[in-house]
Structure formats: structure tokens, C-alpha cells
A and B are shown apart, each in its own frame.
Chain A
Amino acid sequence: MITYVCLGILILFVAVKSAVYMKHRKYTPSSDDLDLTLLSLINPKSERHD
């Protein structure tokens, strides 16, 4: 019985993890996006012309 429960959990675990990865794939930023994010985090708008 425990074997089946464990295998069930394992299937669920792999399925959930795979689903999470697929979801991340959709939201992953491009290198250009990353640059923009980093530059806007480092350079707040108010300081750009200091």
C-alpha cells in the first residue's frame, strides 16, 4: 500500500515540478529585459541627471 502511495506522490511531485518549470519558461526574461531591469534598479529615475 505504502509503495503505491509513494509512487503516487512521486508522480505528483514530478508532474508539479514539470508544470512549474513550464510556467517559468513563459515568464523568463530575455537578456535585454535583464539589462533593463538591472539598470533601472541601479539607476532610480530621480538620480539620472545628478
Chain B
Amino acid sequence: MTKKRAVTFKPYNKTRYAYEKLRVCRHCQQFTVLWEDECSQCGKSTLVPVRQRVTSKVKRTMLNERLIALFIGLVAIYFGQTFLQMILSAAAAILLIALLWFVQRKMLPFEVPLEMETLFEQEQPRIIEDIKRNRKLAVAALKDDELLTYEMLREIATLVQNDKIRLQQVVLLQSFVLRKDMDLAIEPLLIDSFDTDLAAYIGEVAKVQRELIKNSSIRYILAYEAHILEMEHGIEILSSVAAAAIRLKKYVEAYPEFIRRYARNIPKDRFLRLYRMIQQHPDAYWGNLAEEVAIIRREQYEWDSDFQ
């Protein structure tokens, strides 16, 4: 195994919705999910979020409608036979245009999402093509800068959701030293099938960021326990995940057998936490775990004052 690199990730700006990552060039209409300032196609600084692009398009259409209404109104005034008729036509036209403008203003928040949906549907092939271009760019950077490739893939993966891109990220993450302060994730990287890199990655995250071990990661590890045991550091991975699961009582209650199997290998502070949890809740369902914990305590921590 190659030596792991210490790196610092560029801050990842998590958006509430995935589509907020998508930007489009006002000049050449190319899409991108990366963070570049200038469009890679035309070189201009004209990249804007899709919503902004669509909003200005909808506003332009609305303006055009008001101009048409104005034109009809002017024709009505022009052909007025008396001065009074002209004044009344002008008043009617102003009123109607104002009404149209009022309705348009009220409907803008509904019109924009509808237009965005249409844009996504109409531009599907180009969006896919342009994201593929983003991905090629990321892979091309791999030779010189694995960190950059990872950061690019992480952005692309907000919109591209398949196992290949997940595993590409996992493999790259495995070439870095993982730390507590890193912006890591497990759930978005989980796949259905077994992968050694992914299992190793979960094992490492379980050590540095316990809070990321949730139901889905525990279930993944459990589903492929036999495969993981065949790995070189398999027991270490399983023990780290079991140790991390002790973070919350609900996980201990949900997976008592799993935790029992690796209770012997977990660090003392974690075992102490497990021991106290069981002591404090003697009526909860622990299965054989309570018994195993009592045995381990006797065998390994008999004279340890923390366990008194």
C-alpha cells in the first residue's frame, strides 16, 4: 500500500438542493458543476446558477408581454376618435397593463421552477454531456493532483449518483490521511455491493469521526462481515465500527450481537461507555451482550478503578 498523504480539503459548499450546484454560461450555454470562475468553453466570466439564468429569462418574457400590451394600448389611443375616447383608452390601457404586471409579479415564484423543469428536460443531453466533460477534467487532474481530482469528483457527485463515482472517491480518500477536522461523509458513498476500499474507509472514519457511523454504515458492515473478516485488517475495521456504534444507546440496542462479537477489541474508553450504559439500563434488551461485557470486565479490567 502506498503512503497516505496529509491533505486539507477545500471547503465544500453544501447546497440544500442538488440543482443549486448546476451553473450555466450566459454566453455559450455550457453547464458546469465545478467551481471555476470562467467558462471552460468560451473563457468568459458569465457562469450563473441555473435559477438565476431562468429567472432573468422569465422576467424578459414577462417584459415582452407588457410591451405587447402597451403596443395594443397605444394603437387603441391612436385610433381614438375624440379626445375623451383617447383619454379613456389610455386609462383603460394603463389599468390593464398594471393588472398584468401585478399578476406577473405574483406569479414569478411559480413561473421560475416550472421554467427550470422545462430547461432540465429540454437540455438533458447537453447537461449530461457537460457533466461528463467536468468528469473528464477531474480524471485528467489525477496524475498531478489527487486532492484536486477528489474535490472535483465530490462536487460532481452531488448530481451524478452512481457506484463508479462513489468508488472513485473512496479510492482517492483512501490515499489521504483522514482527520477529525475533515469534511467527510459515509452515506453518500455507500454502494450495494461489497468493496474492500469502502470497508476500509468506513473503518477509518469510525476511528476519526465516530458520529458519521449511523444505521446505514453499520448495516453495510454487517451485510459484508464475512468478506471483511477475510481482509488483512478486517477485525480492526469491524471493531472500530462496533466501538463507534457505542456512541448511542439506540445502536447498541439495535445491534447487540454485532457489538458483542467485537467487544473484546474495542478501546477501553469505549468499553467503559458500553459497560456504564448497560449498568444504567439493566432492563433494556441487551441479549447476550450484557453477559459478555461482564465477562470481559472480569478478565480485562478486574482491578481497574474506572469500573468500580
Residues of A with C-beta under 8 A to B80? 3
Q: What 3 A-B pairs are tightest by C-beta distance, nearest first?
A: A6-B76, A2-B79, A21-B107
Q: In the complex, which residues of chain B have a beta carbon less than 8 angstroms from the beta carbon of A35?
A: 17-19
Which chain B positions have C-beta within 8 A of A33?
Answer: 113, 117
CB distance from B17 to the nearest CB of A (A): 5
For the complex, give the distance between the alpha carbons of A42 and B172 in Å. Answer: 23
Query: Are B69 and A13 closer than 8 Å at their CB atoms?
Result: yes
C-alpha spacing A39/B114, complex, angstroms: 16
Q: Is chain A's binding surface mostly helix, strand, loop or mixed?
A: helix
A49 touches B163 (CB 8 A): yes
B66 CB, nearest partner CB in chain A, Å: 10
Q: Give the interface size class of chain A.
A: 35 or more
Known: A13-B69, A49-B163, A49-B191. A27 touches B114 (CB 8 A): yes
Give which listed residue, B99, B128, B162, contacts A50 with CB less than 8 A.
Answer: B162
Chain A residues, CB < 8 A from B100: 14, 17-18
The chain B residues found within 8 Å of chain A, CB to CB, are 16-19, 22, 65, 68-69, 72-73, 75-77, 79-81, 85, 89, 92-93, 96-97, 99-100, 103-104, 107, 110-111, 113-114, 116-117, 120-121, 124, 127-128, 131, 159-164, 191-193
Contact of B114 with A41 in the complex, beta carbons under 8 Å:
no
Residues of B within 8 A of A3 (CB): 76-77, 79-81, 85, 89
Judge whether A7 and B93 touch: CB under 8 Å.
Answer: yes
Which of A13, A27, A41 is the one whose CB lies under 8 Å from B121?
A41
Q: Contacts A2-B79, A39-B159, A42-B127 given; indicate if A7 touches B17 (C-beta within 8 A).
A: no
Spell out A's residues near B (CB within 8 Å). 1-3, 6-7, 9-11, 13-14, 17-18, 21-22, 24-25, 27-35, 37-39, 41-43, 47-50
Q: Which residue, of A17, A43, A50, has the highest number of chain B Cβ atoms within 10 A? A: A17
A-B contact pairs, 15 of them (CB 8 A): A3-B79, A3-B85, A6-B76, A10-B92, A14-B69, A14-B97, A21-B103, A24-B107, A25-B107, A30-B113, A34-B116, A37-B120, A41-B127, A42-B124, A49-B192
Q: Are A21 and B117 in contact (CB under 8 A)?
A: no
Minimum distance in angstroms from B150 CB to a CB of chain A: 20
Q: Which residue of B lies closest to A42 (CB)?
A: B159
**A38 contacts B113, C-beta separation under 8 Å:** no
Q: Report the minimum CB–CB distance from A18 to chain B (whole Å).
A: 5
Residues of B within 8 A of A25 (CB): 107, 110
Cβ of B119 to closest chain A Cβ, rounded Å: 10
Most central of B68, B69, B76, B80 by chain A CB within 10 Å: B76
Within 8 Å CB of B68, what residues of A?
Answer: 13
Chain A residue nearest in CB terms to B99: A14
Q: Min CB distance, A31 to chain B, in Å? A: 5
Q: Which residues of A contact B127 (CB under 8 A)?
A: 38, 41-42
Chain A residues whose C-beta falls within 8 Å of the C-beta of B159 in the assembled complex: 38-39, 42
Could you tell me if B121 and A34 are in contact, using CB atoms closer than 8 angstroms?
Answer: no
